[in-house]
Homo-oligomer: A and B are copies of this chain.
Amino acid sequence: MSTPVLILVNKPAVGIDVPVSTQPEFERRDPGEPQLSVLDLGTTRGDGVFETVMVSEGRAPALAAHLDRFRASALLLDLPEPDREVWGRAVEAAIAAAEAEAEVETDTAGLGVLAVKLVLTRGIEGSGRPTGWVLAQLARDFTAVRREGVRVVTLDRGYRHDVGRTSPWLLQGAKTLSYAINTAALREAARRGADEVVFTSSDGFVLEAPTASVLLREGNRFSTPSAEVGILPGTTQRRAFEFLRSRGHDADAVRLRASDLHRADAVWLVSAVRQAVPVTELDGRALEVDHALTTDLNAYLSARQAS
């Protein structure tokens, strides 16, 4: 598949009917054509939520966890609740269409890894009707970055660790379309000669990367920041913990100070599509990379069975 598969979701939320009774609950569109209004609040206000799901060999092993988080993000933004059944069917349809295209193009049944994005916006201003779509694209090949790792700088996210509780209007812990700060932080990392960012809270706790969870190893003990510090609960981090525990390691979500990060024996960034990427350098300090463990972890993460 050389072009993405786009599916517009006409019935994206519970209690929302499709605009016309003859319309399907979702339908395929040409992603090369414009599909969105300049009046959509997803664009004019970054007012919407999303998920990116990894599909390997036609299966989305963490789809249920992504749909859970999609719903949680929507509720944090007071958006209508996504219609889980419709989104599940739309994702399946996008995968099937991508597979069909791959077969036509390559004459084989094989298909690379897909990144499938789900987006729900508040819709066109004044319409009261949310906008939803699913976009399936061939994922970039992250094989080299998983082997070679990334250089990371820590950057202050500016918030205390507890703002999710004290100030829910700051939407910490929701995966929103208002991502400009995340991309600005990655540009700042590049200016500092690094590839990636780990955010810290203004009071010194480890948070997350712009699009990944942080995983630490100290000796035989693995940890990740707990979601109570105002970060996204990591769907891939959860599966990484399953793998680590199956190997007999301790793996826990805890409060981590920046000093814990700087003392760690090894650090990974984990996310749905790029999977587990070792950190080779943290704020200028070289870090040890366990290539064997990273390889096994990534094999587990891309396995087709549901977690």
Q: Give the residue name and chain of the B residue nearest to A78 (CB).
A: B187
- Residue of chain B at shortest CB distance from A159: B158
Q: Give the Cβ gap from A106 to chain B, nearest Cβ, in Å.
A: 22
Report chain B residues within 8 Å CB of A42: 43
> In the assembled complex, how far is the CB of residue A97 from the closest CB belonging to chain B, in whole angstroms?
15
Identity of the chain B residue whose Cβ is nearest the Cβ of A156 in the assembled complex = B167
Q: Select which of B35, B48, B169 is within 8 A of A184 by beta carbon.
A: B169
Interface flag for A143 (CB, 8 Å): no
Cα–Cα, bound, A135→B44 (Å): 11
- Contact-size category for A: 35 or more
Q: Are A47 and B179 in contact (CB under 8 A)?
A: yes
- Tell me the dominant secondary structure on chain A's binding face: mixed
A185 an interface residue at 8 Å Cβ cutoff?
yes
157-172 of chain A: CB within 8 A of chain B: 157-160, 163, 166-171
Task: Render A44-61 as a binary contact track against B, CB cut-off 8 A, 1 for contact.
Answer: 111110100000000000
Q: Least Cβ distance of A264 to chain B in Å?
A: 23
Q: Which residues of B contact A31 (CB under 8 A)?
A: 37-39
20 A-B contact pairs sorted by A residue (CB < 8 Å): A33-B34, A33-B37, A34-B37, A36-B37, A42-B43, A44-B119, A44-B177, A46-B179, A48-B180, A156-B163, A158-B160, A158-B170, A159-B202, A168-B188, A169-B184, A171-B184, A176-B178, A178-B179, A178-B181, A202-B202
